[in-house]
Amino acid sequence: MNGPRPPAPDPYFPANGDARYRVHRYELSLDYRPGPNRLAGTARLGAIAGRAPLTEFQLNLADFRIGRVRVEGRQPRWTHRGGKLRLWPTKPLRAGAAFTVEIHWSGNPKPVSSPWGGLGWEELTDGALVASQPVGAPSWYPCNDRPADKASYQLAVTTPSAYGVVAGGRLLTRTTRASTTTWLYEQAAPTSSYLVGLAIGKFQTVLLGDPGLGGVPQSAHLPSHLLPEFSRDFARQPRMMELFGELFGPYPFGEYTVVVADEELDVPVEAQGMSLFGTNHVDGARGSERLIAHELAHQWFGNSVGIADWRHIWLNEGLAKYAEWIWSERSGGRTADELASVAHRMLAGLPLDLRLADPGRRHMFDDRVYERGGLAVHALRHALGDDAFFRMLRGWTAQHRGGSVTTATFEAHAARYADGPLDEVFADWVHGAALPPLPVG
């Protein structure tokens, strides 16, 4: 009689993650020295075996020196090659059994290579930041690097006291001893490995909005010389938060943090409960306000409601793109119809060979995923009408909060809010490659 069928790896990144078990808790303790770019860490993982016994399992971790390793308190046999830490417990782990893993590692962290350049830990001129999407998390800690494997995190980071540490989640304590300070953060919400954010630098901290009035606590950490420009550029973020809460459902986390690194970044990057921007996104003229809206919207679409694997990335980027258009429409800028028309004209001049439902690894960050994704959401809004459309979005974020979804999940969910079939909308915009006519009416 055949045993349980092994789970399939991520089709875009088959070398990342291990679907035979899941992690429910990471406790990371890091000591980082910015000058020599030296990182030493301890990870304690609480995990649960899947449907079959585990005689061995894997974690992803870049090229660090490995020290102590324990599984259930015992030293396993292990190998570490090509970014994979493979462990053989002293005895098989029963199907469905909870187990613990402890790993000590050290070295000089650096980005991992990818088709999009280096990802993950990035050493800055004076500090460091983490931008891991999609597979950069192993550049700084051992993890089961699959977007659907969500866990809670506790993160303790010790640095020289001249530096501040910002991470997603709630700051529990900040303890100074001699010349170092340890910052302890807790992210209780289920979090994908690539969404664990971290920034180390010399920041000025400011508060945005007034959480005393019942709003979401919002803070920003930035170089002090950018404060005048930042104050104008991010002035409307509290109103964005209020609007998105009304339209998409309650903000899914306890707080929201913005970090501006003292260097230029190609693009802003979302993390769980935080977003990272570069100095080039702060100009004092609200030149990047659409990106502020985009990164904030990811807290609902992509972070709280995550994806089962990377084929479904349009659900993250298409809904965040559409949030840009909604913010523009509701804040006195161009309407969503006008912005959809601009996107449609742009796509008409590009190759029509991309299918949103499975764009392929090479194209998962292509502009067409974002723009066509926004248009697919716009077409759905036209098909449903505003009342049903926004009820659908609020139901989506409520029903799948903390979970992982697929395109098929979204199609089935949207259908429950429609008066008629939506098959044609999804066939044309999500599963087809040809460019349908712009929705009107």
3-state percent breakdown (helix, strand, coil) of the chain, nearest 5:
30, 30, 40
Torsion of CA 23, 198, 212, 393, to 10 degrees: -60
Which amino acid is it at 346? M
Query: Do 200 and 185 meet the contact criterion of CB atoms below 8 Å apart?
Result: no
How open is the CA angle 145-148-153, to the nearest 5 degrees?
Answer: 65
* Nearest to 391, CA basis, from 274, 247, 199, 198: 247
The residue behind tokens 């304590």 is 173
Residue 295: active-site member:
yes
Q: How far apart are CA 44 and CA 71, in angstroms?
A: 10
**Cα–Cα separations (whole angstroms), residue 39 to 15, 105, 172, 305:** 24, 8, 22, 32
DSSP designation for 119: B
- 294 in a known ligand binding site: yes
Q: How far apart are CA 308 and CA 306, in angstroms?
A: 7
Q: Provide the token pair at 299.
A: 């807290």
* Nearest to 32, CA basis, from 117, 127, 115: 127
The residue behind tokens 């921007």 is 277
Rg (CA), the chain: 22
Which amino acid is it at 251? Y
**Cα–Cα separations (whole angstroms), residue 190 to 22, 48, 147, 288, 303:** 12, 15, 11, 29, 9
- 24 in a known ligand binding site: no
- 382 in a known ligand binding site: no
Q: Provide the token pair at 379.
A: 């077409």
Of 141, 185, 370, 417, which one is the catalytic site residue?
370
Residue 229: active-site member:
no
Q: How far apart are CA 322 and CA 373, in angstroms?
A: 8
Q: Provide the token pair at 289.
A: 């306000």
Q: Which residues of 393-421 are buried (b: 16+ CB within 10 A; e: fewer)?
A: bbebbeebeeebbbbebbbebbeebbeee
Of 229, 270, 295, 324, which one is the catalytic site residue?
295
- Report the binding-site residues for Zn(2+): 294, 298, 317
- Report the binding-site residues: 294, 298, 317
Q: Which residues are catalytic?
A: 295, 370
